[in-house]
Structure formats: structure tokens, C-alpha cells
Amino acid sequence: MSRLGVVFGGSRGIGRAVAQLLAQRGHRVVVISRNQEAAQATADTLSGAEHVGLGCDISKEQEVQRAFDTITKTCGAVGYLVNAAGINRDALLMRCKSEDMVSVLHTNLLGSMLTCRAVLRSMLSNGGAIVNIGSVVGVKGNAGQSVYSASKAGLEGFTRSLAKEVASRNIRVNLVAPGLIRTDMTAGLKEEEYGKRIPLGRFGDPQEVAHAVLFLLESPYITGHVLLVDGGLQLTM
């Protein structure tokens, strides 16, 4: 059955791979990022018709509400929500600027809370599925990433709690925790060096994460689950 899928952070990287896979499976997709033109450009490349690109800063409550008002008015009820919008501002805690801490928490944690709260009304009558994108760093911790790790660990607790809260309405909430994936976010990291710490010996591709996201969106009896997609990195951290 074709559903409406909303992908925050869908213009690039992991979110774009999720949008592509959803479209390939025949779903209508709303691609969202701060840069509306980039979101629209990605929507235009998806297979099938009627995909939409919207501009919205996930960290801003009014923008998130406005995005969902537009979506429900013009596209109908949302079946799938994927929260792939995220940023990092990596530094040792002693060197972290307060404004960077706030940006990371507001985008990675508060942002997903805002989109989940906004989408629930749309999912109440027909059910739905949400996948939040966490990180192996949220599960294991990493020096130089304490704020980013806290944002992702918080997202894990949020995912499990919300899963309990909305299960009776047939809304499922899961989290995919990627390791090192080839996107703009990791463009500055040398794969030869970091790959040595990964049992599978390489970074992952965004499409490999997208498959895990789609699996959780489509699995009717899985909720509150954290799925690591990391080439085994968590085994060595």
C-alpha cells in the first residue's frame, strides 16, 4: 500500500537515500531541509510523481508546525516519518561553545521531538511508523563528541518512551544508530585510518542505512527498537 512519507534531512546523505528508497517502493515522499531549493531538487530526482520539497528548520517549533500544516492540507495524512536531520560540532567539552551545544541539542534532539509531536495527530486514525536516526556514539560514547553523543542518547530514551506512549494507537517508533557512513558529515575523515577500527573494514553507504530504516518502517511487530547499522563498530568501541 502506498503511503505518505516525510523525511527531515532528506536533501542529502542518509535522508536522501531513505527518500529514494521510499519512492522506489511506490510511496509519495515529502523531502525537508533548511535549504528549500536543495529539498526540492532531491524531490525532483525521485522516481514516480508528486513528491514535494519543503524548507523547514527542525529546531524551530513554528516552522515545524507550519510544515505539517502544509503537508496535511496539500498531501493528506502522514504514514511514515523519518528524522534524519542532524548536525555535529565536535570538540572536547572544555572547548565547546555554548551556542554550538544549543544548536546540536536543538537540532538533533528537540527537533525530532517537535516533528514527532506534530505528526501524531496525523497518525492517530490510521496508525503509522516513525524512525529516528541516532548514532553508535549515542550508544557507546566517544571522546570529543560528548554533546553530540548526549543528543543521540537522549533520542534513544525519547524513542523508547514514545513507543510505549503510542503503541496502543498502532504507531510504532524505532531508532537506527549508524556508525561511520559516507556523507558530507564524515567527508573530513580519512576512511583508510578510521576503517581499521571497523570490523567490516570500511565506512557504510547511505543506502545501507536506508535499507534498515525501511525495514523498521515496514515491520508491523517491531517498536521501541534500536538497530545498529555500523559494520560492527560498536564491538570495538
Q: Interface with ligand NAP by CB under 6 A: which residues?
A: 8-9, 11-15, 33-35, 38, 56-59, 84-87, 107-108, 133, 135, 178, 180-181, 183-186
Nearer to ligand NAP among residue 194 and residue 222 (C-beta): 194
Query: Residue 95 CA to chain centroid, in angstroms?
Result: 27
User: Which run of H or E residues covers position 141?
Assistant: none
Measure the N-to-C terminal CA separation of the chain; round to a whole number of Å: 40
Nearer to ligand NAP among residue 8 and residue 68 (C-beta): 8
Q: Which residues are catalytic?
A: 148
Query: Residue 157 CA to chain centroid, in angstroms?
Result: 15
Non-local (6+) Cβ contacts of 111 within 8 A are: 8, 58, 59, 64, 83, 85
Q: In the bound complex, what is the minimum distance in angstroms from residue 55's beta carbon to ligand NAP?
A: 8
Q: In the bound complex, what is the minimum distance in angstroms from residue 129's beta carbon to ligand NAP?
A: 18
Q: In the bound complex, what is the minimum distance in angstroms from residue 130's beta carbon to ligand NAP?
A: 14
Q: In the bound complex, what is the minimum distance in angstroms from residue 30's beta carbon to ligand NAP?
A: 13
Nearest partner of 235 among 136, 168, 163, 162, judged by Cα:
136
- Cα 59–25–165 angle (5° rounding)? 45
Nearer to ligand NAP among residue 185 and residue 222 (C-beta): 185
Nearer to ligand NAP among residue 56 and residue 129 (C-beta): 56
Non-local (6+) Cβ contacts of 78 within 8 A are: 4, 5, 6, 68, 71, 72, 119, 122, 123, 128
